[in-house]
Structure 1
């Protein structure tokens, strides 16, 4: 390929790259509706696109506002612009340079419904409010999907695992899960289950003892903000089969019988030899009989 051809090829490639970048429209992706536990926090996942080349954080500005009134700002880097109801309760978790506009609302209140919309600004150049991609928050006083495994029977001495889990929307401050079982060392996991929902779970492995029978196992879940819930399940422990109460008396009886048998054997042997001596004339009666006969002569 000639030098002129190489230059032309590079020019075409650059045109394709710039065309693909410049052809991007303003677009935001959010979860349209999300539940939130009051007094806790809720994280609103958000990503966005804008036309032109990708910019650093310093060249972009993020604003969140209500859909009804765009001047009611719930997040702004200038905190004086935020309405009183949301002051010190909102934090931008996403990085604008990575086209992430995720927002956290802390200390959720019953009237934090929204809808809330994101607006991106390129100072002194452009701005766009994503009014078709807003988020409605549904505050609730009760946590969702609290679950604790229930076991019908536990085998004494056999390891068994229990799982306690809960769904939440506050991954920046996940719930803490504790157990009532002493000296427990549970495994804790947090995972994203999509659409702004997360799951916190704790796995407890224990070895049931006889003393655990007819007691209760309690899982306590404490949420960011102070809300606490407990779940309890009864423990039914099946005792391990123990035959000592049968083996010991039987062994004692067999031992006694064996000892008695041995004694009887030796005693019968002794008496048998004595009887044989008497019958053979070597015994006491035989000697007396011979002495009597000699005197008569």
Structure 2
């Protein structure tokens, strides 16, 4: 029968070197045994040395992509990636309200893992007021968390308080990714606050490598794929953490400088077969 296979969606930009953005999402969807679809929001000209140019898709084109997918497919979970400006975010939010694409994982591309800001203030305000209330799971990095709550975080208690604030903004469950910007650290600690109030730290090893492009995209994409298959939120988060740690640890030789993580380091989850 039509649309029995689990279908998931990324609403994101594409990177020309394939290391991050929608390509990292689609790699992750495939490896977790789901069918990945894409609503293109932007295109980035970049390689392992850096980003050199970008183009934002027109809102009418973004709307049309939503229309045609909703008309044909059964999308069971969706995630966001690069939403370059307030107009794009408003269009995405309007369409996610219009169409039922299942659980929403919000990867707020506000700043890099090293703290470089990628989002203008109007867009940040739109993200907080329009997209956050639609969110099932949000996955900001350390610096994005600081942008969302509007202050610096210095302790575990600060991080826990920030998670509660972000949950109060509308996100059901919160994954605050730990810092990984110092070569003298030995572990990365993520703080998790679930919709039911359960909270805990997920700790993994720190790997001193420049091949980490697509880490955040992959974490949120694996969560999305698992939610699309009906996995519980906590289990989806734990699976995603293990997937990313393994993909970073087992490097892949692509590019000269800041290369991608290795999605093929984790055994593929074969698609579930429908019995005749």
TM range (shorter): under 0.3
Higher strand content, 1 or 2: 1
Which of structures 1 and 2 has the larger relative contact order (alpha carbons within 8 angstroms, sep 6+)?
2
Higher helix content, 1 or 2: 2
TM-score by length of 1: 0.19
TM-score by length of 2: 0.20
- The structure having more radius of gyration, on CA atoms, is 1
